[in-house]
């Protein structure tokens, strides 16, 4: 059982999101938003990648772990979490004017703590899951 106080978990999560944002900027992504709240949850980072011919909207989920002792961040993307992220992304996309850009879901896993003297481990999983038929509406 995890006995870490919630404020420490929140601080670790915010630190991880800062690390992930810096990582994306170094890779040439433009940050469109952070911590975007929707009725279905929160989008950690929304970025734009223009590495291809057409810019792509990237919904980035950030998972921060102190160590690999209990598995990595990708294990935390269970079906319920993916469904909530898809619904939040759909809500975000509804606010955009057509034509909608292509979009994808990435995960950035940050392993470490702010107190470490070494750099944290950063793993960027591009296109780690898709919207899925169960969430798509006829117009989106």
pLDDT digits (tens, 9 = 90+) for 20-36: 999 999 999 999 999 99
Residue 51: give its domain's CATH number. Answer: 3.40.1350.10
The answer to whether position 23 is within a domain reads: yes
Cα–Cα distance between 44 and 30 in angstroms, integer? 14
The answer to whether position 113 is within a domain reads: yes
Contact 34, 44 (CB under 8 A): yes
Cα 104-59-57 angle, rounded to 5 deg: 60
Structure tokens at 103: 């979009």
Cα 60-128-62 angle, rounded to 5 deg: 30
38-69, pLDDT tens digit by residue?
A: 998 999 999 999 877 788 999 999 999 988 77
Cα–Cα distance between 57 and 23 in angstroms, integer? 16
121-133, pLDDT tens digit by residue?
A: 999 999 988 886 5
The answer to whether position 136 is within a domain reads: no
Strands 41-49 and 30-38: antiparallel
The full length of the chain comes to: 140
Cα–Cα distance between 48 and 92 in angstroms, integer? 14
Under the banding of pLDDT at 50, 70 and 90, the label for residue 4 is low
Q: What pLDDT, on a 0 to 100 scale, did the predictor assign at position 99?
A: 84
Specify the pTM: 0.86
Question: Mean pLDDT of all residues in the chain?
Answer: 86
The answer to whether position 48 is within a domain reads: yes
Query: Domain total for the chain?
Result: 1
């Amino acid at each position: 059982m995890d006995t870490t106080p919630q404020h420490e978990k929140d601080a670790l999560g915010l630190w991880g999101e800062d690390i992930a944002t810096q990582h994306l900027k170094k890779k040439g992504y433009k940050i469109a938003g952070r911590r975007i709240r929707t009725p279905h949850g929160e989008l950690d980072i929304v970025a734009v990648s223009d590495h291809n011919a057409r810019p792509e909207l990237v919904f980035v989920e950030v998972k921060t772990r102190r160590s690999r002792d209990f598995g990595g961040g990708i294990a935390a993307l269970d079906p319920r979490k993916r469904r909530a992220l898809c619904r939040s992304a759909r809500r975000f996309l509804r606010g955009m004017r057509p034509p909608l850009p292509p979009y994808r879901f990435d995960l950035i896993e940050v392993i470490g703590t702010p107190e470490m003297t070494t750099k944290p481990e950063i793993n960027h999983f591009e296109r780690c899951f898709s919207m899925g038929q169960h969430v798509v509406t006829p117009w989106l």
